Homo-oligomer: A and B are copies of this chain.
């Protein structure tokens, strides 16, 4: 069911500084920057690798304010790993299967993620404390 580790989400105080750090230290490159008002973040995707199932990325997240989910995370835990996202071939099928196994879904239906993806989050309390995201990539241009 899982195609790949799509990305790890990392919460940070200052997106521009953290992008510069990751580029200089790990040689990764920004491929997308977005402001997601719905999720209360500005974010950047840094490309790590490509695989059969699609790309893998580091996602850096800066909250748009203290009353956002990532803002509250930073206040409580400080900068660090925020969530893990797995690529799936069909997000609605994955949501149905996982929801049917008793894991609560934070999203009733898929919503828009970075780079044209469809995403849904699973309740971290039902995944051993890990905020877990499912990602379906957009169809590749043919």
Contact = CB atoms under 8 A, between A and B. Distances in A.
A115 interface: no
Interface string A76-105: 011111111011000000000010010100
Interface stretch (A21-29, A31-39, A64-72, A106-114): A21-29
Interface residues of A, number: 41
A30 interface: no
A52 to B, nearest CB: 7
Interface of A: 1-5, 7-8, 10, 12, 18, 21, 24-28, 48-53, 56, 77-84, 86-87, 98, 101, 103, 124, 127-130
29 contacts: A1-B27, A2-B27, A2-B28, A2-B48, A2-B49, A3-B49, A4-B49, A5-B5, A5-B56, A8-B81, A10-B128, A10-B130, A12-B128, A21-B128, A26-B86, A48-B86, A49-B51, A49-B52, A50-B51, A51-B53, A77-B77, A79-B130, A80-B124, A80-B128, A80-B129, A80-B130, A81-B82, A81-B83, A81-B129
